[in-house]
Amino acid sequence: MPDDSFSATRRGLIRASGLSAMGLAIGAAGGASSGAPGYPAPSEMDIGRVQNGRVVFPNWRSEAEPRTPPPPAPRAPGERLGYAVVALGRLSLEEILPAFAECRSSYPAALVTGSPEKGSVVARQYGIPQTAVLGYADFETLRDLPEVKAVYVVLPNGMHREYTLRAAAIGRHVLCEKPMANTAAEAQEMVEACARAGVRLMVAYRCQYEPYNRAAIALVRSGELGRLRFIEATNVQANGPGPQWRYSKALAGGGALPDIGLYCLNATRYITGEEPVEITARRYSPPGDERWKEVEESMSFGLRFPSGVMANCLSSYGAFNDKTLRLHFEGGTVEMPDAFSYVGQRLIVSRKSGNVVGQEERKIQHKNQFALEIDHFSERILADEPPHTPGEEGLRDMRLMETIYRAAAENRPQAVEPVQATTRGPDPREE
């Protein structure tokens, strides 16, 4: 009798040979990879295909199921744009530097900080060479780091102008946090300096890149709920004791309005796609509180747009956290809790269906809005195209905020000068 182990091995070889032949046949028929030797070749449904330099997959789920997003297609490390992050405060350490891990076209290449110790620690955490950790006095040394193509200015508002101008002078593109500056005159100077130097300037209006806010814009443009009639935008938070740079007029430019009220103002503009023609405002600070000696605690303001849309906005450092955007249409309402937050956005549509008024919550894949804005700027630099939120967009808001302050000071409506040029660049590319 033949040896059982030999027989089993022989049967296995025969079976494997058969599977291999079948795999070759499947591969030839489907034009797909032949797969690992000895196994059936996988189908395109399973392994995808290369299209326009990236891997894509056919839909593998039932039509009743939502489609999965395409796999990320990051640039190769040597093709990504290097940034110098200027200032290592909370925003840089809690949001911006971690966001680079989700970027596909960008990476942190240098740090500028007033604390060498902190710079050394952070550089080690993010794999940045210690030689690329600079002090503020050494900022111009960035010109000697060819990997640094752009700077991300994350300093207090009153310092944005200086470091934008210094970046432009050494030929580096600038991504600047909002608000753009302390005054419209400073913002104008920044726009002109970058234009003369031939570098791009973008203001970090993260919400204009965030998926839920993008969906709200699309919903308004679609006319699905009829005409937009009214906007409510609230951004309030209860701030603690000083000292904080936010309570210094020299560093912050103002109080709640430029810091968090700006989100409301900018949202009314990108949601409507219009510019306001009239502004009203009221300002308030509790008497006797040292925090409000130089800046305001609260600012409420109203805007009227050419289409007839009215907007009511509230910003405050004195009320519990609320960052809600509500859009009132002829045929329904859209509510966006946490519209201006870093995470947690939602989009709830209320409208009549038949004889019933119901609610529908629309689910959208979360994406890191800091990573989206950074990568958008990188891609526009690499393509030599203007960004979606250029310096002109920030300058426009600076002028409107000055009008809001004037309306509050004079306690009467203020007419708004019409925009002389486009302030917003091409829309971000959607995947």
**Catalytic sites, residue numbers:** 178, 263
Helix, strand, coil percentages in the chain from 3-state DSSP, rounded to 5: 40, 20, 40
Beta bridge partners of 316: 236, 298
Q: How far apart are CA 77 and CA 290, in angstroms?
A: 49
- Sheet strand arrangement including 148-153: 133-134, 106-112, 81-86, 148-153, 173-176, 201-203
- Please state whether beta strands 278-284 and 348-353 pair in parallel, antiparallel, or not at all (unpaired): unpaired
Q: How far apart are CA 165 and CA 161, in angstroms?
A: 6
Beta bridge partners of 327: 231, 334
Structure tokens at 406: 């004037």
Structure tokens at 389: 């939120």
Structure tokens at 247: 């309570």
Query: Prior bond to 258 cis, omega within 30?
Result: no
SS3 of residue 423 by DSSP: coil
Closest by CA to 313, choosing from 351, 272, 347, is: 272
Q: Is 104 exposed, middle or buried (0-12, 13-18, 19+ CB in 10 A)?
A: middle
Q: How far apart are CA 46 and CA 109, in angstroms?
A: 37
Q: Which residue has the tokens 């409510």?
A: 232
Q: Is 2 exposed, middle or buried (0-12, 13-18, 19+ CB in 10 A)?
A: exposed
Closest by CA to 426, choosing from 382, 372, 389, is: 389
